[in-house]
Structure 1
Amino acid sequence: MKTAIAIRHLAFEDLGTLEPLLQARGYTVRYLDATVDSLYAADTLSADLLVLLGGPIGAFDDPAYPFITDELAVIRHRLESKRPLLGICLGAQLIARALGASVSGMGGKEIGFAPLTLTAEGNASPLAALGDVPVLHWHGDRFDMPAGATRLAGTAICANQAFRVGNHVLALQCHLEADPRRIERWLVGHACELALAGIDPCALRAEAQALQSDLPQAARAAFAAWLDEVEAAPSGGMSP
Structure 2
Amino acid sequence: MQAHFFQHVPFENLGAIERWLRAKGYAISQTAFFQPSFSLPSLDAIDLLIVLGGPMSVNDEAQYPWLVQEKEFIRQAIAVGKPILGICLGAQLMANALGAKVYPNAVKEIGWFPIMGQEGKSQSGSFQFPPSLEVFHWHGETFDLPPGAELIASSQACQHQAFQIGRSAIGLQCHLETTPTAAQALVDNCADELILGPFVQDATTILADNQARFATMGAVLVQLLEYLHHQVITPA
* Structures share fold, TM-score greater than 0.5: yes
Shift of 1:73: 1.5
Aligned amino acid, residue 8 of structure 1: Q
Size of the aligned set, in residue pairs, is: 231
Shift of 1:39: 3.6
Find the aligned partners of 2:29 and 2:171 in 1 and give their Cα distance.
20
Query: Closer, same or farther in 2 for the Cα pair 1:95/1:201, shift >3 Å?
Result: same
Partner of 1:202: 204
Find the aligned partners of 2:18 and 2:143 in 1 and give their Cα distance.
26
Q: Quick one: which of 200, 222, 226 aligns to 1:228?
A: 226
Query: Closer, same or farther in 2 for the Cα pair 1:237/1:111, shift >3 Å?
Result: farther
Query: Closer, same or farther in 2 for the Cα pair 1:72/1:164, shift >3 Å?
Result: same
Shift of 1:53: 0.3
Shift of 1:199: 4.8
Shift of 1:28: 1.4
Aligned amino acid, residue 226 of structure 1: L
RMSD between aligned residues? 2.3
Answer yes or no: is the 8 Å Cα contact 2:109–2:139 preserved in 1. yes
Query: Closer, same or farther in 2 for the Cα pair 1:214/1:202, shift >3 Å?
Result: closer
1:58-137, aligned counterparts within 5 Å?
A: 58-120=57-119, 125-128=126-129, 132-137=132-137
Aligned amino acid, residue 48 of structure 2: L
1:139-218, aligned counterparts within 5 Å?
A: 139-195=139-195, 199-206=201-208, 209-210=209-210, 212-215=211-214, 217-218=215-216
Aligned amino acid, residue 221 of structure 2: F
- Give TM-score, length-normalised by structure 1: 0.86
- Per-residue CA distance 1:194-229 (angstroms, 9 max, x = gap): 2587852122112xx22x2332x3344333333433
- Per-residue CA distance 1:163-213 (angstroms, 9 max, x = gap): 00111001000011111354221111111222587852122112xx22x23
Aligned amino acid, residue 202 of structure 1: T
Shift of 1:115: 1.3
Shift of 1:11: 1.4
Query: Closer, same or farther in 2 for the Cα pair 1:141/1:21, shift >3 Å?
Result: same
Find the aligned partners of 2:128 and 2:65 in 1 and give their Cα distance.
33
- Give TM-score, length-normalised by structure 2: 0.88
Answer yes or no: is the 8 Å Cα contact 1:99–1:146 preserved in 2. yes
Answer yes or no: is the 8 Å Cα contact 1:121–1:152 preserved in 2. no
- Identity across matched positions, percent: 34
Find the aligned partners of 1:150 and 1:140 in 2 and give their Cα distance.
22
Answer yes or no: is the 8 Å Cα contact 1:119–1:151 preserved in 2. yes
Shift of 1:106: 1.3
Answer yes or no: is the 8 Å Cα contact 1:126–1:226 preserved in 2. yes
Return the structure number with greater helix share.
Answer: 1
Find the aligned partners of 2:156 and 2:172 in 1 and give their Cα distance.
16
Answer yes or no: is the 8 Å Cα contact 1:151–1:163 preserved in 2. yes
Aligned amino acid, residue 47 of structure 1: I
Aligned amino acid, residue 185 of structure 2: R
Query: Closer, same or farther in 2 for the Cα pair 1:6/1:122, shift >3 Å?
Result: farther
Aligned amino acid, residue 96 of structure 2: R
Give unmatched runs, 5+ long, in structure 1. none
Q: Which stretch shifts more, 117-126 or 55-64? A: 117-126
Find the aligned partners of 1:214 and 1:66 in 2 and give their Cα distance.
37
